[in-house]
């Protein structure tokens, strides 16, 4: 055994590895350990009554401080006995003492407090505790240490707490703030304060607004306490849906935020589809090997609005019935608000052009018949080449009776928008697809947006087990005052039902007031309410007031939104409201900017 003990003396233990190499106790105002400076604060008094969390302001501050709280339960029988004795003695002093004594008011307070505590313990089965609270400040130098001490002292005093510096007790305070459950008698004599069980709830320390979902992606840091924000918006057990809305002025950082989301969800293999009216996501598509589809006068890629896709069928409807409803939305953008007669005429013509291609309300008509002499194991769905195009509709319209429709359709057949009059010639098999509709021009963006949303919605419905997301930039164009109720209803339907397909719809806009302009804001409010995650970047006062009308924004949050810097956001994530700073690495920036 002697040889073993001699051997062990020459080994290095875990304790040796953890132990500091240098400790300096020479100065009674702080401790120096391995080049770091530590100083303690003792909380020696509190408000008599608290209506909220006592340490909220300190916990939510972004200060490098350790807080140690000890609760020491008192013997109930002895406490009641001592209280009864104190009540009797104080009662006599109050009754027969000199009313002009300086401390007579304090004695009256103590008398009432003692009676209240005894009543709570006897009637409501409350327990009596001694409360001890210590703060340990950590800094790189003595000057920073003193500045931080003064800052914490100010925060505590503003919360009604009385502090005392732990001079000549620095070692005891340091040990009390280590996870070894050591509460020195030297400290207890100074800091002990009585508290009932009910009052313990006011000292609950785990109230910081932090979000750390187990499978979440990193969004940024909490501006209050610098904690990381990791959110898994596809967590169905935690969030009602995975929908998001992102509002902010131009240059506030919302596009950068969306690009970061696309990048990080791309790593998780999530399908993502982006409507890009401002040509902001081309670099993202290139960096992440996504598919970029451009639609415009100079593009050689075409999308046919009349395509019926195999995954497009709606619950309870056949293929053609579902398509006619979507076409009604598209043509309402071209023809404006139509009365019932015009709707009936248009639908009659649409049914006819599909019939000319052999497509009827019977779903079997969408499948190709095998050629003679060939055996087909699985029926093949008709391709884009076998679908009607806009010119087919134009040609069956009567020159006189349908003059209104023909005039409106003319640019789409022979004019500046004739790129809409082609069969689809693009493949859509990538998990990241960016729809670039910048070349359509300001007035025609809504046509391209609706067309791609129709395609992406069909892809989202294809596989319910696969998580996917659709990003609708400048969504106000489709549910604003310039749109139609039918189109707005379709967009709202996506936000309302996408959850059951494992999807997430993301509404992005800088024109908040326009978003709520159609039908007194009914559609904008519906979409806002169907988003479990909301990110509000810096907004103009006008837009903040509109948003405050439809969202649960406090007056304090309204003021904060006005002062947000670029890349900072007020986030509503479930029931949590957090001020966040969006953060990224240099590598990520190079990929998306």
SS3 of 114-151: the string is HHHHHHHHHHCCCCEEEEEEEEEEEECCHHHHHHHHHH
Please tell us whether the domain made up of 241-301+426-593 is placed in CATH 3.40.50.300. yes
**CA–CA gap between residue 228 and residue 583 (Å, rounded):** 10
- Geometric angle at alpha carbon 513, from 508 and 516, rounded to 5°: 80
Q: Coil, strand or helix: which one is 464?
A: coil
For tokens 């013509």, name the residue. Answer: 349
Q: Tell me which residue of 42, 41, 23, 45 sits closest to 33, measured CA to CA.
A: 23
Rounded to 5 degrees, φ, ψ at 372 are -60, 135
Q: How far apart are CA 532 and CA 330, in angstroms?
A: 29
Q: What percent of the chain has pLDDT over 90?
A: 62
Query: Which tens digit of pLDDT belongs to each residue from 506-550?
Result: 999 998 888 888 888 889 999 999 999 999 999 988 889 888 888
Give the DSSP per-residue string, 160-178: T-EEEE-TT-HHHHHHHTS
* Range among 7-11, 118-122, 173-177 rated most confident: 173-177
Q: Provide φ and ψ at 257, rounded to 5°.
A: -60, -45
In this predicted structure, what is the pLDDT of residue 374?
57
Which CATH number is associated with domain 305-424? 1.10.8.730
Q: Judge whether residue 5 has pLDDT over 90.
A: no
Residue 376 has pLDDT above 60, yes or no: no
**For residue 176, what are its two tokens?**
């009390």
> How many CB atoms are located within 10 Å of the residue 443 CB?
8
Q: Mean per-residue pLDDT for 494-499?
A: 94
Q: Where are the domains of the chain?
A: 16-73+128-207, 75-126, 241-301+426-593, 305-424
- Specify the pLDDT at position 331: 94
Label each residue of 489-540 as H, E or C: HHHHHHHHHHHHHCEEEEEEECCHHHHCCHHHHHHHHHHHHCCCEEEECCCC
Structural contact between residues 242 and 234, judged by C-beta atoms closer than 8 angstroms: yes
Residue with tokens 């006062």: 541
Residue 408: count other Cβ atoms within 10 Å of its Cβ.
Answer: 13
pLDDT in tens, 204-229: 887 766 788 888 999 999 887 788 89
Query: What is the DSSP pairing of strand 576-582 with strand 568-573?
Result: antiparallel
pLDDT digits (tens, 9 = 90+) for 12-23: 888 888 889 899
Q: Are 145 and 37 in contact (CB under 8 A)?
A: yes
H-helix segments, 357-480: 390-396, 403-413, 445-460, 476-479
When pLDDT is averaged across residues 245-250 and rounded to a whole number, the result is: 94
Model pLDDT, residue 99: 58
Q: What is the DSSP letter of 386?
A: G
Phi (first) and psi of residue 229, to 5 degrees: -110, 115
Which are the contacts of 71, defined by CB distance < 8 A and separation ≥ 6? 129, 130, 131, 195, 200
Report the alpha-carbon distance of residue 117 to residue 123 in Å, rounded: 10
What is the DSSP-derived secondary structure letter of residue 31? E
Residue 315: predicted pLDDT: 66
Closest among 232, 302, 242 to 264, alpha carbons compared: 232
Residue-wise pLDDT for 288-344, tens only, equals 999 999 999 988 899 999 999 988 887 667 899 999 999 999 999 999 888 899 999
Mean pLDDT, all residues of the chain? 90
User: How high is the pLDDT of residue 467?
Assistant: 94
Give dist(CA 66, CA 54) in Å, integer.
Answer: 16
Give the pLDDT confidence score for residue 103 in this predicted structure.
65
Which of 322, 292, 294 lies closest to 309, judged by CA? 322
Instruction: Determine contact, residues 295/440, Cβ cutoff 8 Å.
Output: yes
Task: Tell me what pLDDT residue 501 has.
Answer: 93
Angle in degrees, CA 565, 566, 571, rounded to 5? 80
Instruction: Judge whether 482 and 513 are in contact, CB under 8 Å.
Output: no
pLDDT digits (tens, 9 = 90+) for 410-451: 999 999 999 999 999 988 889 999 999 999 988 899 999 999
pLDDT the model gives residue 316:
65
DSSP 266-313: HHTT-EEEEEESSS--HHHHHHTT-EEEE-STT-S----TT---GGGP
Determine the pLDDT at residue 15.
Answer: 82
Phi, psi at residue 495, to the nearest 5°?
Answer: -65, -30
Q: How confident is the model at residue 112 (pLDDT cuts 50, 70, 90)?
A: confident
pLDDT, tens digit, for every residue of 565-590? 999 999 999 888 889 999 999 999 99
Distance, in Å, from the CA atom of 484 to the CA atom of 446, rounded to the nearest integer, reads 11
Interval 59-89: pLDDT, tens: 877 788 999 999 999 999 999 999 999 888 8
To the nearest 5 percent, what fractions of the chain are helix, strand and coil? 45, 20, 35
pLDDT of residue 47: 85
Helix (H) or strand (E) holding 62: none
The DSSP H or E segment spanning 335 is helix 319-335
More confident residue, 18 or 171: 171
What tokens were used for 487?
């189109």
In the chain the first and final C-alpha atoms are separated, in Å, by: 68
What average pLDDT does the segment 39-52 reach? 87
Confidence of residue 385 (pLDDT cuts 50, 70, 90): confident
Q: Are 173 and 42 in contact (CB under 8 A)?
A: yes
Q: Give the list of residues 6+ apart from residue 12 with CB closer than 8 angstroms, or none.
A: none
CA distance 494 to 454: 10
Phi and psi based region of residue 336 (left: phi greater than 0; alpha: psi -120 to 50; beta: remaining) = left
Q: For residue 403, what are its two tokens?
A: 């003059």
User: What is the C-alpha separation between 242 and 524, in angstroms, rounded?
Assistant: 17
Is 6 a residue whose pLDDT tops 90?
no
Q: How many CB atoms lie within 10 A of CB 320?
A: 21
pTM of the model: 0.75
Domains 241-301+426-593 and 305-424 share a fold: no
């Amino acid at each position: 055994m002697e040889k073993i003990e001699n051997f062990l003396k020459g080994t290095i233990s875990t304790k040796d590895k953890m132990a500091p190499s240098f400790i300096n106790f020479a100065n009674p105002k702080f401790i120096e350990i391995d080049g770091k400076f530590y100083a303690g604060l003792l909380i020696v008094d509190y408000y008599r009554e608290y209506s909220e969390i006592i340490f909220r302001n300190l916990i939510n501050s972004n200060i490098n401080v350790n807080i140690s709280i000890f609760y020491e339960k008192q013997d109930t029988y002895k406490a009641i006995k001592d209280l009864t004795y104190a009540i009797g003695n104080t009662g006599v002093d109050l009754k027969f003492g000199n009313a002009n004594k300086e401390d007579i008011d304090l004695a009256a307070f103590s008398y009432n407090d003692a009676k209240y505590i005894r009543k709570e313990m006897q009637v409501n089965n409350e327990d009596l505790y001694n409360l001890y609270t210590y703060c340990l400040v950590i800094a790189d130098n003595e000057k920073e240490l003193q500045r931080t001490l003064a800052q914490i002292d100010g925060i505590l005093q503003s919360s009604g707490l009385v502090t005392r510096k732990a001079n000549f007790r620095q070692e005891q305070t340091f040990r009390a703030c280590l996870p070894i459950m050591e509460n020195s008698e030297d400290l207890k004599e100074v800091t002990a304060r009585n508290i009932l069980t009910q009052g313990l709830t006011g000292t609950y320390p785990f109230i910081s607004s932090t979000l750390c979902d187990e499978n979440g992606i990193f969004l940024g840091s909490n501006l209050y306490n610098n904690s990381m924000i990791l959110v898994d918006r596809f967590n169905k057990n935690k969030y009602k849906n995975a929908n998001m809305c992102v509002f902010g002025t131009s240059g506030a950082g919302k596009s950068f935020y969306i690009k970061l989301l696309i990048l990080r969800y791309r790593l998780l293999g999530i399908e993502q589809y982006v409507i890009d009216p401002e040509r902001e996501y081309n670099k993202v598509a290139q960096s992440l090997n996504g598919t970029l589809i451009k639609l415009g006068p100079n593009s050689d890629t075409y999308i046919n609005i009349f395509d019926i896709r195999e995954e497009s069928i709606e619950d309870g409807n056949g293929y053609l019935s579902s398509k006619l409803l979507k076409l009604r939305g598209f043509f309402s953008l071209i023809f404006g608000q139509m009365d019932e007669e015009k709707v009936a005429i248009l639908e009659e013509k649409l049914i006819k052009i599909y019939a000319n291609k052999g497509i009827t309300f019977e779903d079997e008509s969408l499948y190709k018949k095998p050629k003679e002499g060939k055996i087909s194991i699985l029926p093949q769905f008709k391709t884009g080449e076998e679908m009607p195009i806009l010119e087919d509709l134009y040609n069956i319209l009567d020159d006189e009776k349908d003059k209104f429709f023909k005039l409106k359709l003319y640019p789409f057949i022979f004019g500046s928008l004739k790129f809409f009059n082609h069969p689809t010639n693009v493949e859509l098999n990538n998990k990241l697809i960016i729809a670039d509709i910048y070349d359509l021009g300001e007035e025609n963006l809504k046509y391209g947006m609706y067309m791609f949303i129709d395609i992406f919605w069909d892809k989202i419905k294809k596989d319910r087990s696969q998580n996917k997301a659709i990003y609708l930039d400048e969504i106000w164009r489709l549910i604003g005052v310039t749109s139609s109720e039918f189109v707005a209803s379709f967009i709202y339907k996506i936000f309302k039902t996408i959850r059951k397909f494992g999807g997430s719809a993301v509404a992005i806009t800088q024109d908040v007031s326009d978003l709520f302009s159609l039908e007194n804001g009914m559609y904008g409010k519906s979409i806002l309410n169907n988003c479990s995650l909301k990110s509000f970047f810096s907004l103009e006062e006008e837009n903040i007031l509109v948003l405050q009308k439809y969202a649960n924004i406090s007056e304090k949050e309204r003021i904060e939104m006005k002062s947000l810097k670029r890349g900072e956001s007020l986030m509503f994530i479930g029931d949590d409201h957090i001020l966040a700073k969006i953060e990224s690495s240099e590598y990520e920036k190079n990929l998306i900017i």
